[in-house]
Copies of this chain bind each other. A is one copy, B any other.
Amino acid sequence: MKDIANELGVSVALVSYVLNGKKTDKINENTAARIKELAAKMNYSPNQIAKSLKTNRTHTLGLIVADISNLFYSSIAKYIEEEANKHGYHVIYGSAHEDPERFNSILQLLLSRQVDGLILAVPEKAEGCIQMLGDLSKPFVVIDRKFNEYPKAPTILLDNRHASATIVEHFAENGFKRLGVVTLNRKLVSLQDRKEGFVEAAMRLLGTKPFIYALEEEQMDAQIEAVIHKAIYKDKVDGLCFFTNKIAMTGLARISAIDIAVPEQLGIVCFDEAKAYNIFRTPVSYYMQPLPEMSKMAIDYLLGQIDKKENKILANPKEFIGNLVVQKSSRR
């Protein structure tokens, strides 16, 4: 910028005005044109760091997910990124692997880099950040999680109870009677909601409680065989629901190795979309979250907060309805 000003014998301030399109009505068109031309010729690109220091805006959002290599989160990341880009924002991200310490450390780093806003899949035991970010009055939104202790924290997620109920209804309509779910042994409210919604709907529509199988995340591969075996041969489950993408991949791999007819002997429904569901011997039904809409709302809300224009409170928590994609694995 200095170079441009010197070359043209004008002030740095003027260059700044022209390049930022400010006061256009008060600046000589001719000089403006010369400045723009030279800037283009010199391939000038403003130093955003300096700009940020002055304006207190980085046009950067921070995103913390559990694991970027997990399809569910990488899909969210993709939509968040697309949506942010539309508004001239960029995304810095980190994977916390559900570890509150890692989460807080990434959060600190994002804050020290002055991100304008945050999108957070907050792990258990890290809820404290909600209070902290509120105190800093730093815009943020929680995704895919919900903390009943913080009813006012802006929150975007699936209506998990409703999703489970939809799945149970579908099972019931297709004549499945002994349902089971495979979930994780964690306190995450979304998993709890899925479970409670499932149980409630099964009682209501089938008059029986479903079988619940909970896995330890770290020992999933080791435990899955026993769980599947018990469900099919001992509990005589005829309709099974996998609660996450990762559980589904592990469970389906196991079922793949067994000689059992899907859907005749065992119906299957999973949570979250995956192309891979179509390479299972029978294409698998799944409940799809409306990720594009959820991402859009997260970004819209954040940008509204950042610009202070809109003071809107999110109807909280904002729970989205997805839709069940029915394939052969659960259709009789």
Contact = CB atoms under 8 A, between A and B. Distances in A.
A278 interface: yes
A316 interface: no
A13 interface: no
Interface string A280-297: 110100000000000000
Contact of A278 (B47, B85, B249): B249
Interface string A76-116: 01100100010000111111000000000000110111100
Contacts of A283: 253, 256
Contacts of A46: 112
B69 A58 contact: no
29 contacts: A45-B108, A48-B114, A49-B53, A49-B58, A60-B92, A67-B78, A68-B78, A68-B81, A69-B78, A71-B71, A71-B74, A81-B94, A85-B94, A90-B94, A90-B109, A90-B113, A91-B92, A91-B93, A93-B93, A249-B278, A250-B275, A252-B279, A253-B283, A256-B278, A256-B280, A274-B276, A279-B280, A280-B280, A281-B281
B276 A256 contact: no
A256 B280 CA distance: 7
Interface of A: 45-50, 52-53, 58, 60, 67-71, 74-75, 77-78, 81, 85, 90-95, 108-109, 111-114, 246, 249-250, 252-253, 256, 274-276, 278-281, 283
A134 to B, nearest CB: 14
Contacts of A112: 45-48
Contacts of A274: 276
